[in-house]
A and B are shown apart, each in its own frame.
Chain A
Amino acid sequence: MAYEKEALAMLDSTYRLALWLTRREADARDLVQETYLRALEARETFRPGASMRAWLARILRNRFIDRFRQGEREVPWPDGAEESKTLQAVCDEQAGLFGDAELARLMSLVRGDIERALQALPEDHRTVVLLCDVEQWGWEEAASVLGVPVGTVKSRLFRARRTLRELLSEYAPKETNVGPVR
């Protein structure tokens, strides 16, 4: 029961990772349910005292790689407005809860760039940014999710952030050079 309770307490972060990896809410829901199913089946291999959220995230990521990367369903990051309702809609729904539609719209515009940049990263770099910067997990936890040494997490994060900055500067509106008035 304690195991189940602890696992359930990590549902939000597990769901967010699923949403970021799959990019579609329906797929994220499936992946989360599958993750919990596997986590329950494998409860005896969970080391007491270990990070539950990292344990779940690792199961989830491995399932994601199995299911989505092996060509079962490769979902492109939606570029068009229609498709971008997926992840964006979930985020906006929550921003809209504040009741200020204009604020929600502005927040969504600012978010657009950073989220687009994040989605442009390869999956392993994206996951490391999500875990370390967005969710603010420790190095050790991120390393256990990815199954790599802490040093590798650090170097991936460094490279991912470098790419993000380059992408964000590309997305930023360029200053218009009007030229001299004759």
Chain B
Amino acid sequence: MDPCADSRFIPLLASGELEPAEEARVRAHLSSCQTCTRELAAEENLTKRLREGISRPAAPDDLRAAVEEEMRALRPVPRRARITRRMLFAASAAALLILSAFLAYRRMSPQDPLVVATRHAAATHQAIDLQRDLLQRETAEAGKRLQELAQRYGLPATTAFQGDEEVRLVSVRQGLALGKVSAVLVYIDSKGRLVTLEILPGGDLKVPRERTRAVQQFRPMLTRADQLGVALWRQGPAFYLLTAPMDEEELAQLYLKVRTHTS
């Protein structure tokens, strides 16, 4: 087959990319050029094979169901509902226990336990944030509470990050997460933001590697819930939930501080 200078226009002709005048000229040229006619046939044949010869499977039903479930779990709480919930939380610290029990109950549903844990961590953070005035009174007792929780429930609370000049430990509380007793360490950072670190027995709760992100040599799962950043990771026998009103980058920095301290 002899080469033809016009054959470079053929892919453009096949994909409809030529200007009308240029297209008319190339089409007229085709009637007298076997090379370009074959080239056009080959291009059209390839397009046909790609459009008709490649299967286009639909997403499996169970995947669709899983994605829908994911969406439901991460749906933002409507503003009015949030306000109502906050009022409830503010009313009494006991409300935190009720919510925790509710979340623990939800563990029975087929929801992803990591999504449940994330939402629980955010709810705990929001509840404590509404009780800031109580925190100061609890600061003096924080060390004692850490000891108690470590001794009574075997939680590695005493080895956890106990704060520094930038992120001060202000309170330690007992919590209930996913049906287990947890320790909740509460900090205030230099910008006045509340940070919570919840430690619970790890059990079978794991973060699959594909859902983690690399933060230096560690791989926590970084995610968001209700405008809060949440870092989840497993360390030794325990599972950790670090929650703060931060973006991913800032949270990753805080995570490193907490993680490297406890390791």
Contacts and interface: CB of A to CB of B under 8 A. Distances in A.
15 contacts: A14-B59, A29-B60, A29-B66, A33-B70, A34-B210, A37-B74, A41-B74, A90-B55, A90-B57, A110-B49, A111-B55, A129-B50, A135-B56, A165-B42, A165-B46
Contacts of A133: 47, 50-51
Question: What's the dominant secondary structure at chain A's contact region?
Answer: helix
Contacts of A156: none
Contacts, number: 96
Q: How large is the interface on A (under 10, 10 to 19, 20 to 34, 35 or more residues)?
A: 35 or more
Contacts of A111: 53-55
B51 A136 contact: yes
B53 A8 contact: no
Contact of A40 (B17, B42, B43, B70): B70
B5 interface: no
A37 B70 contact: yes
A24 B71 CA distance: 24
Interface string A29-48: 11011101100110000000
B141 interface: no
A2 B71 CA distance: 12
B10 to A, nearest CB: 11
Interface in B33-56: 42-43, 46-47, 49-51, 53-56
A115 interface: yes
B63 A164 contact: no
A161 B44 CA distance: 11
A36 B67 contact: yes
A144 B118 CA distance: 32
A114 interface: yes
A4 B211 contact: no
Interface residues of B, number: 32
B47 A8 contact: no
A146 interface: no
Nearest to B115: A37
Nearest to A92: B55
A177 interface: no
Nearest to B50: A133
B223 interface: yes
B245 to A, nearest CB: 15
Contacts of B21: none
